[in-house]
Amino acid sequence: MINFFLFLIALNFSFLLFFKNFSKVIALYDEPDGFRKLHKKKISNIGGFIFFVNLSVIFLYLNFFYFEVV
């Protein structure tokens, strides 16, 4: 169980270090339109992707390793 949490911490740390590179590869940017948005530069939307990856890894772990077939 501790290995799983260490894996999640390492995964999140790698996302934190390289989130701009991930944003460029995946092309997840919010571009300003000058009408409704106040920011002036493109902003990365990678936070939702990181949340999705974490939930997916947790659900896969629980499905394959935690729940036993009765």
* Per-residue model confidence (pLDDT) at position 68: 62
Q: Is the pLDDT reported for residue 38 higher than 80?
A: yes
Q: Is the pLDDT reported for residue 70 higher than 70?
A: no
Among 12, 10, 20, 5, smallest CA distance to 50 is for 12
* Per-residue model confidence (pLDDT) at position 19: 78
- Rounded to a whole number of angstroms, the distance between the first and last alpha carbons of the chain is 21
Give CA angle at 11 (31, 60), nearest 5°.
Answer: 100
- When pLDDT is averaged across residues 15-44 and rounded to a whole number, the result is 82
Q: Name the percent of the chain lying above pLDDT 70.
A: 93
pTM over 0.85: no
* Per-residue model confidence (pLDDT) at position 69: 54
